[in-house]
């Protein structure tokens, strides 16, 4: 439902602004161009999306996910203390984080939802639930494949040269996001 408002809003803004800037002709031409560009973008992403979902399947079967989960255990205990008593929750959470890390968004969501259901007590978000969301919105990802595909299609010779910047950025946003959540958890009134 949100997107209906967003889309209508975007078109409304375009129409109103074009009246002021006198760009009516360009506006009308842009409609068809935009639709075509949507298809072109999807086609340009096709190879990369299929390649990485394929490799993702391999990584799942190769046991890389379990190996990462082992590595994550100490960190998990710190961020989500209730995982110490609840191994099933720990399993869901590490599977969620690892799938996100490997870029398997489709696999990450069901695991995250399952973890959220295990964490919940009533209809109010607990501190750990808030941290789960922050961790999921920070997107710590090994290979941002879609972005790399877009770059490579635009003629970039080293589409993966942004990797270090992406890693540093997502680690910072996750770290500071969790810190903010921890701080807000202390001061927020439980209404």
What residues from 108 to 137 belong to the interface with other proteins (CB under 8 A)? 109, 112-113, 116-117, 119-120, 123-125, 129-130, 132-134, 136-137
| Residue 71 near other proteins by CB under 8 A | no
- Angle made by CA atoms 175, 150, 110, in degrees to the nearest 5: 50
| Binding mask of the shown chain, residues 134 to 153, with x at each position contacting other proteins by CB under 8 A | x-xxxx-xxxx-xxx-xx--
User: By CB under 8 A, which span of 56-64, 68-76, 80-88 interacts with other proteins?
Assistant: 56-64
| Residue 4 near other proteins by CB under 8 A | no
Instruction: Name the CA radius of gyration of the chain, rounded.
Output: 21
| Residue 82 near other proteins by CB under 8 A | no
User: By CB under 8 A, which span of 75-83, 84-92, 176-184 interacts with other proteins?
Assistant: 176-184
Distance CA 107, CA 110 (A): 6
Distance CA 112, CA 136 (A): 8
Distance CA 112, CA 158 (A): 33
């Amino acid at each position: 439902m949100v997107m209906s408002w967003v889309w209508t809003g975007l078109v409304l803004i375009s129409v109103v602004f074009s009246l002021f800037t006198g760009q009516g002709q360009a506006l009308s031409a842009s409609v068809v161009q935009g639709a075509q560009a949507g298809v072109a973008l999807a086609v340009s992403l096709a190879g990369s999306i299929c390649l990485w979902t394929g490799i993702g399947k391999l990584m799942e079967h190769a046991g890389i996910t379990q190996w990462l989960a082992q590595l994550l255990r100490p960190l998990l205990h710190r961020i989500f203390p209730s995982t110490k008593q609840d191994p099933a929750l720990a399993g869901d959470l590490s599977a969620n984080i690892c799938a996100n890390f490997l870029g398997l968004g489709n696999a990450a969501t069901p695991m995250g939802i399952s973890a959220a259901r295990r964490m919940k007590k009533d209809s109010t978000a607990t501190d750990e639930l808030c941290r789960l969301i922050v961790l999921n919105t920070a997107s710590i990802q090994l290979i941002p494949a879609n972005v790399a595909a877009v770059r490579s299609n635009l003629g970039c010779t080293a589409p993966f040269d942004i990797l270090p910047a992406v890693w540093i950025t997502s680690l910072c946003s996750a770290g500071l996001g969790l810190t903010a959540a921890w701080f807000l958890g202390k001061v927020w009134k439980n209404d």
